[in-house]
């Protein structure tokens, strides 16, 4: 019996692609490259869902506001920050991401679980096994199908971020916070066969090219 070959759009149905990286790495910019690449694969625009974390639902956006805001006389505790990231993620995954994937859509996420391990684990110094346990409690085995990690020198990323406006509570951390965050990102990607690193210090044209090469390779690997 011969089976009809699946089209690219059919292979991409139900897939969750995530972009990760430090501030100013170019994640939002990269999402426009992915959108162009998906159009080349004849993926109908109505079948693509874009998310960002923390955020993406009404309640998750409120949690994002809390994470970003400064409150006079009260510090957001590191553990509270971590729990807010997961609370927002549960809302997004259960209300938006899982339903979209069930409907055969493709979801493009601006940040996901690696950000919590990198920022709250690496940056804040919370134990990674503990974060893994919280992740299991919050999301079970749910994970991205493919992760593109945009690697950038923190000083360059922050200067780009500064160019687009005032820095928020997390962005004002010292450089060594972002060095630790970056190190965790790098080690997570190294041990994940479904994740790749893109050199985000290159020109936008070269970053786009590198992203397309990796997406082509990944698509070719899909059944």
- The minimum distance between CB 53 and ligand T5A, in angstroms, equals 4
* Ramachandran angles phi, psi of 199, nearest 5°: -75, 105
Q: Which stretch binds ligand T5A (CB under 6 A): 37-45, 72-80, 94-102, 110-118?
A: 110-118
116 binds ligand T5A (CB under 6 A): yes
User: Measuring CA to CA, which residue among 172, 166, 186 is closest to residue 122?
Assistant: 186
Q: Specify the residue, 55 or 146, whose C-beta has the smaller distance to ligand T5A.
A: 55
Number of Cβ atoms within 10 Å of the Cβ of 1: 2
Q: Specify the residue, 38 or 85, whose C-beta has the smaller distance to ligand T5A.
A: 85
User: Measuring CA to CA, which residue among 220, 187, 174, 222 is closest to residue 117?
Assistant: 187
User: Measuring CA to CA, which residue among 199, 221, 220 is closest to residue 211?
Assistant: 199
Both tokens of 172, joined, read: 């004002």
Q: Specify the residue, 11 or 24, whose C-beta has the smaller distance to ligand T5A.
A: 24
170 binds ligand T5A (CB under 6 A): yes
Both tokens of 222, joined, read: 């899909």
* Three-state helix/strand/coil letters over 82-108: HHHHHHHHHHHHHHHHHHHHHCCCEEE
Name which position in 79, 164, 194, 217 contacts ligand T5A (CB under 6 A). 164
- The minimum distance between CB 188 and ligand T5A, in angstroms, equals 12
* Ramachandran angles phi, psi of 66, nearest 5°: -65, -45
Residue span 4-43 as binding mask against ligand T5A, x where in contact by CB under 6 A, dash where not: -----------------x-xxxxxxx--------------
Name which position in 33, 34, 54, 182 contacts ligand T5A (CB under 6 A). 54
How many residues touch ligand T5A under the rule CB under 6 A: the total is 26
Residues 118-157 that bind ligand T5A (CB under 6 A): 119-120
Residues 192-221 that bind ligand T5A (CB under 6 A): 203-204, 207
Q: How far apart are CA 213 and CA 202, in angstroms?
A: 15
């Amino acid at each position: 019996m011969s089976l009809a070959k699946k089209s690219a759009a059919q292979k991409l149905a139900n897939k969750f692609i995530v972009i990760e990286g430090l501030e100013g790495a170019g994640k939002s910019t990269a999402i426009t490259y992915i959108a162009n690449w998906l159009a080349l694969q004849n993926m109908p625009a109505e079948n693509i869902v874009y998310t960002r974390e923390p955020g993406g639902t009404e309640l998750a956006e409120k949690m994002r506001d809390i994470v970003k805001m400064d409150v006079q006389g009260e510090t957001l505790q590191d553990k509270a920050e971590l729990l807010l990231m997961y609370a927002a993620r549960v809302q997004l995954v259960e209300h938006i991401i899982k339903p979209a994937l069930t409907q055969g859509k493709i979801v493009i996420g601006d940040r996901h679980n690696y950000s919590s391990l990198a920022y709250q684990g690496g940056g804040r110094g919370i134990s990674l096994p503990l974060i893994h346990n919280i992740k299991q409690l919050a999301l079970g085995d749910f994970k991205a199908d493919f992760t593109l990690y945009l690697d950038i020198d923190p000083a360059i990323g922050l200067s780009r971020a500064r160019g687009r406006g005032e820095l928020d509570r997390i962005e004002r951390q010292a450089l060594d916070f972002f060095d630790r965050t970056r190190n965790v990102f790098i080690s997570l990607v190294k041990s994940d066969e479904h994740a790749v690193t893109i050199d985000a210090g290159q020109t936008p044209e070269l970053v786009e090219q590198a992203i397309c090469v990796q997406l082509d390779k990944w698509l070719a690997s899909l059944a």
